[in-house]
Structure 1
Amino acid sequence: MNAKKFSDAMGELDNKYIDEALNYKKKVKKPIWIKWGAMVASLLLVFTMSVPALAAADFGPAYNLLYKVSPAIAQKLKPVSMSCEDNGIKFEVISAYVEGNEAKIFISVQDIDGDRIDETTDLFDNFSINTPFDCSSSCENISYDTETKTATFLISISQWNEKDIIGEKITFCVREMLSNKQEYDAILTNLDLIQISATPKTITPTQIFGGGGTNYNEMKNNFQALKTTGILCSPIAGVDITAMGYVDGKLHIQVKYEDSLETDNHGYIYFKNDKGEEIHCIANIAFSTDSEHQERYVEYVYDLSDVDLTQYKAYGYFVTSDTHIEGNWSVTFPLESISQ
């Protein structure tokens, strides 16, 4: 989707059609975080009611993008059209709006030199928003256009103390992006649970980076990692299961994520039986075992004290990427209120 065409099309909308759309009332109040795909029917209804005189051909770029986002947001976006380029990637703030303490920013990322951007591209949790106020933010990948090699994102910002942010200037920066992401969610057919050791060797990690789960806090301080025994299973490129064993009565499964700092490779392992019942880890702990902290692992811990593991199969869910894009993209623009 061409970002400039979107801005031009937005500017061609007659104000009366926007006013009519803004006055459209939904019977059900929607949550802040919207599932974009589920809004297709509502969006078609809004445009059928609000712009009957406009044919799709007259309204192509804007219609096609608005088709993928919430009507309530799309009706209010105001053109910004400010951009920057680095490393053959064009970054553009297409449009934005602010109401009270919340702002929405619509951006595009286009590869003008190659094919590094695709439908899986994300900002690697590496975008930053510099504001004169404390805020929280999120980023949602909305669409990808193969013809123009452009991915579009919606950024949401909320002011913490709920004060109006109309008229404030913000700077949106991106330093890294990931693309060509692959997803795996299936049985770990090559993982032989018979290989689980009852007396595994353990080592003290050189550093623990974090983790999660209900038992993480109580386990992290005295955590002993399994000593790697070699590759037991490689369900997807960049993910290797490297050890399994029982420690203090709990099952530990160790996974090495290749180049996790560069690729954000991540995931988890769970067990499921024929009834669809699932067992998930009570803790996951990320750590390194070398002095340079380059060899990084995650160990998943399970409480199977009341479980017959022979009735379950091991499953893995993993997300990997092999395209890491670096650059320096930064755009400063004002947040303006919508027209009522």
Structure 2
Amino acid sequence: MAWDEATGTVTFLCTVKTMDGSPIPTGGKMTFSVRQLLTGKKAMEGVTVDLKLTNYAQEAETALTWGADLPAAGVREPEVTYYSATGGSGDLASVMLQPGEVLAEPAEGLPITAAGYADGLFHIQLCRGDASRTDNHAFLWMEDADGREFHCTGISYFTGETAGGRTDYMDFLFAVPPEELAGCTLHGNFYTAATLTEGLWQVTFPLENTD
């Protein structure tokens, strides 16, 4: 893809083939259309995150997720409910940490908003903003002093409209006990985008076989 700022033209390279490998039938037409463009993409890979993991070697506060048990009688229900991005009843979902203040921001638009233990696993929570519009995302891992890597699983949640707009979170879950955190550092690959442009652009062209 190329962008000509002087003319305001975007050029796409399209390669077309038939499903069975037969020659493309000539004489027909094809319409290529674009409804959304995600621009200003950035990738930061192999980043060492400035977060002292031993500061979060204790149980952390968890959030109310849809499908979970409501607070006991007399306990005020939280104003925000979080929904599992994988759908379903939520019965099989892991707990989510309660988002808080920014603990670190390894990439612009991807702050870490919580860390600590829940259900025996060490959580690192990343706020993705409205991921349905920018697709901001990351992959995290931990390394010990010998360079051994600890990989994780992730769970995704998002806020509903009652929270004033959608915000996506991902909790990364590590099976690392508290006594091993002292020798570990956090690392990640981070991917962000700046602008989502929406519209409808299309062009129709004749089909020709170039073989």
TM-score (norm: length of structure 1): 0.48
CA distance in 2, matches of 1:193, 1:255: 15
1:249 and 2:120 matched: yes
CA distance in 2, matches of 1:254, 1:202: 11
Question: Structure 1 stretch 248-257 or stretch 304-313: which is displaced more?
Answer: 304-313
Secondary structure of the residue aligned to 1:294 is coil
> Does structure 1 retain, via aligned residues, the 8 Å contact 2:136–2:191?
yes
Secondary structure of the residue aligned to 1:227 is coil
> Which residue identity does 2:31 align to in structure 1?
T
Please report how far the alpha carbon of residue 307 of structure 1 lies from its aligned counterpart in structure 2 after TM superposition: 8.5
> Which residue identity does 1:188 align to in structure 2?
V
Please report how far the alpha carbon of residue 246 of structure 1 lies from its aligned counterpart in structure 2 after TM superposition: 1.5
Show the counterpart of 2:197.
325
CA distance in 1, matches of 2:11, 2:55: 46
Matches within 5 A, 1:4-43: none
CA distance in 2, matches of 1:164, 1:286: 44
1:269 and 2:145 matched: no
CA distance in 1, matches of 2:178, 2:96: 23
Secondary structure of the residue aligned to 1:170 is strand
CA separation of 1:245 and 1:156: change in aligned 2, threshold 3 A: farther
Secondary structure of the residue aligned to 1:199 is coil
CA distance in 2, matches of 1:247, 1:157: 49
Secondary structure of the residue aligned to 1:226 is coil
Show the counterpart of 2:176.
304
Please report how far the alpha carbon of residue 294 of structure 1 lies from its aligned counterpart in structure 2 after TM superposition: 0.5
Show the counterpart of 2:129.
258
Matches within 5 A, 1:173-322: 173-185=33-45, 186-189=47-50, 191-205=51-65, 206-210=82-86, 221-281=92-152, 283-292=153-162, 294-304=166-176, 308-322=180-194
CA distance in 2, matches of 1:326, 1:267: 24
> Which residue identity does 1:178 align to in structure 2?
L
CA separation of 1:256 and 1:110: change in aligned 2, threshold 3 A: same
Relative CO higher for 1 or 2, CA cutoff 8 Å, sep ≥ 6?
Answer: 2
> Does structure 1 retain, via aligned residues, the 8 Å contact 2:137–2:192?
yes
CA distance in 2, matches of 1:220, 1:109: 47
Secondary structure of the residue aligned to 1:202 is coil
CA distance in 2, matches of 1:174, 1:327: 8
1:110 and 2:4 matched: yes
| Contiguous gaps of at least 5 residues in structure 2 | 66-81
Please report how far the alpha carbon of residue 174 of structure 1 lies from its aligned counterpart in structure 2 after TM superposition: 1.1
Once the two structures are superposed, residues 219-239 of structure 1 have per-residue CA deviations (whole angstroms, 9 ceiling, x without a partner) of: 972322111131111112111
CA distance in 2, matches of 1:197, 1:306: 5
Please report how far the alpha carbon of residue 164 of structure 1 lies from its aligned counterpart in structure 2 after TM superposition: 4.9
Please report how far the alpha carbon of residue 171 of structure 1 lies from its aligned counterpart in structure 2 after TM superposition: 1.9
CA distance in 2, matches of 1:275, 1:289: 39
Please report how far the alpha carbon of residue 200 of structure 1 lies from its aligned counterpart in structure 2 after TM superposition: 1.6
> Does structure 2 retain, via aligned residues, the 8 Å contact 1:272–1:312?
yes
CA distance in 2, matches of 1:228, 1:335: 53
CA distance in 1, matches of 2:210, 2:137: 40
CA separation of 1:245 and 1:161: change in aligned 2, threshold 3 A: farther
Once the two structures are superposed, residues 5-61 of structure 1 have per-residue CA deviations (whole angstroms, 9 ceiling, x without a partner) of: xxxxxxxxxxxxxxxxxxxxxxxxxxxxxxxxxxxxxxxxxxxxxxxxxxxxxxxxx
CA distance in 2, matches of 1:311, 1:171: 57
Identity rate of aligned residues, in percent?
30
Please report how far the alpha carbon of residue 296 of structure 1 lies from its aligned counterpart in structure 2 after TM superposition: 1.3
Q: How many residue pairs get matched? A: 190
Q: Please provide the CA RMSD for this pair.
A: 3.1
> Does structure 2 retain, via aligned residues, the 8 Å contact 1:200–1:246?
yes
CA separation of 1:165 and 1:247: change in aligned 2, threshold 3 A: farther
